[in-house]
Structure 1
Amino acid sequence: MALLSLLSIFNMILLFFLRDPSLGAVLALVNFVLIIFFIADFLARLVKSPSKSEYFLRQYGWADFLSCLPFSQTNVFRLFRLIKVYRLLRDFGIRKIKDAVIKDRADTALFILLFVTILMLEFGSLGMLAIESQSSVSNITTAPDALWYMVVTLSTVGYGDQYPVTTQGRVLGAFVILTGVGIFGTLTGYLANFFLAPQKKKKSGDELSDIRSQLDAIKALSAQQQDAIATLEESLTKRET
């Protein structure tokens, strides 16, 4: 969520400098999507927290809540999410966080995939709208048109109702298509790992159980052999005496 918070703050700066209302509409739509993620993150943290009051008061939960509100005046509270990231880096260290990321590579890949998708939706739409709006025969003329084109193209569906007519727009569209193929290829790998990983763990657990059973059998057999040896020694001792 720290990356999404950074993106949200960056969008605030862009909205301040952009004078084109169409480009501003793209940023407004993307910010609406980010707000949905922030609300989901706030609710998840609130539910998982052992102490709701401690999270809300001492861990800046109130700032998380205010940052979810769809008002420009409350966007500044998203800076508190960056403060949390700084504290996390300070308390745990970069090495431990890096080890955790490497250990949980599948979930890390999913988060990176989500972030790249949002970046492509935002900056791809901004670029496509800025390029295509210069043409008099363009059919991508509004923010919803640009976002719809990006969603359809990234998902590799390609309805064909919106398409670039300029050379620069087609080059950008080709890049978006290739990126969409990579995104869905990575997503397919993640889903395959998600569904197959429990079966692999179960199989590994069964193999470990078999090994433990064999070790127990060996230990039991060794004990019987020791008892037999002890019995033979006693009988030999009695005969000698």
Structure 2
Amino acid sequence: MSDKNGWSVRNLATPSPFEFAMMLLSLLSVVLVLVMTFGHLDGETNRLLFFIDTSICLIFLAHFFVGLFRSRDKRFYLRHHWIDFVASIPAIEALRIARVFQILRVIRLIRMSHAYLIPLIKQRKQTTLASLLVSMVTILTFASILILIVENGAEGANIQTAEQAIWWALVTISTVGYGDYYPVTTSGHIIGGVVIVSGVSFFGVITGYMASVFVSPDDNEHHQRNEAHKAEIKSELELALARMEANQRQMEQNQAQILAQIAELEKALSNKK
């Protein structure tokens, strides 16, 4: 089971942080598909959901091919992860239904989440990157959807299309603030404020992560040093035990020689008598 770089159910017992992130994005993707299928939305909102769904699909495809590239058994990987590839193909309506199968993994993940907490905490760097990826996609998704809904059709609004909504969300979360697109409604201002605060927090976490990468020792290097130290201690203990056993054998031999000499002396004394 060492060749598991994807999201298979067999691999679900010990998922990596990025596999955990892909499961959460699968849940978000299924929600978008359901909204596009059964929701009565205007054309621009549907286009926006389509763009977001396509972006998530590209993330899924990138994760799939990275896992395939890293896998030592390509056939095994394709045999157990082909549904992930099918569900990740964008712009084909029928294939989106395949993502429902991914929800089964998310449900099992939630039921067993307590068993995943400690392993994820131990993988701090990967968990941080995976959390940033999920947070960024989630914030951009909800920010662009909500701003388009509240601004579309408002008097004097300049955020009217899906592209404009996505661009506004990207600019706002990055706190760049070009000012070419901006909300004019009260609800839009509230949404913008929340996105700005989220963006400041988001990039604050990125800054802290980058600082930890350069300041803190690498987890693998630290683990290797610990393992080397444990091996050194074990070797020293084994050497000490070997010396103790050798000393004990030598003492037993000396004791046997002394007893033999004592026996000879007693025999010699008895002969003189």
Q: Aligning the two structures, in what range does the TM-score lie when normalised by the shorter sequence?
A: 0.7 to 0.9
**Displacement of 1:114:** 2.5
Q: Hey, what's the Cα distance between the residues in 2 that align with 1:93 and 1:63?
A: 19
When structure 1 is superposed on structure 2, of 17-26 and 40-49 the one drifting more is 40-49
Corresponding residue number in structure 1 for 2:194: 175
Corresponding residue number in structure 2 for 1:205: 227
Corresponding residue number in structure 1 for 2:60: 38
User: Within 5 A, what are the aligned runs for 1:154-193?
Assistant: 154-187=173-206, 192=212
Corresponding residue number in structure 1 for 2:14: none
Q: For the structure 1 residues 189 and 103, does the alpha-carbon distance in structure 2 shift closer, same or farther, using more than 3 Å as the test?
A: farther
Unaligned runs of 5+ in 2: 1-21, 265-273
Corresponding residue number in structure 1 for 2:24: 3
Corresponding residue number in structure 1 for 2:120: 104
State yes or no: 1:149 paired with 2:171. Answer: no
Q: Hey, what's the Cα distance between the residues in 2 that align with 1:177 and 1:104?
A: 28
User: Within 5 A, what are the aligned runs for 1:210-221?
Assistant: 210-221=232-243
State yes or no: 1:115 paired with 2:145. Answer: no
Q: Hey, what's the Cα distance between the residues in 2 that align with 1:185 and 1:73?
A: 40
**Displacement of 1:93:** 10
Aligned residue identity for 2:99: R
TM-score by length of 1: 0.77
**Displacement of 1:103:** 1.0
User: Within 5 A, what are the aligned runs for 1:83-94?
Assistant: 83=104, 89=108, 94=111
Q: Hey, what's the Cα distance between the residues in 1 that align with 2:110 and 2:201?
A: 32
**Displacement of 1:111:** 3.6
**Displacement of 1:213:** 3.0
Of 73, 76, 80 in structure 2, the residue corresponding to residue 50 of structure 1 is: 73
Corresponding residue number in structure 2 for 1:127: 146
Corresponding residue number in structure 2 for 1:223: 245
When structure 1 is superposed on structure 2, of 60-69 and 142-151 the one drifting more is 60-69
**Displacement of 1:101:** 4.2
Aligned residue identity for 2:73: P
Q: For the structure 1 residues 100 and 230, does the alpha-carbon distance in structure 2 shift closer, same or farther, using more than 3 Å as the test?
A: same
Unaligned runs of 5+ in 1: none
Aligned pair count? 234
Aligned residue identity for 1:175: V
Q: For the structure 1 residues 166 and 216, does the alpha-carbon distance in structure 2 shift closer, same or farther, using more than 3 Å as the test?
A: same
Is this contact kept in 2: 1:5–1:78, CA < 8 A?
Answer: yes
Instruction: Give the share of equivalent positions with the same residue, in percent.
Output: 27
**Displacement of 1:27:** 0.7
Deviations 1:96-130 (A, max 9, x none): x6423431233455444423322211111111122
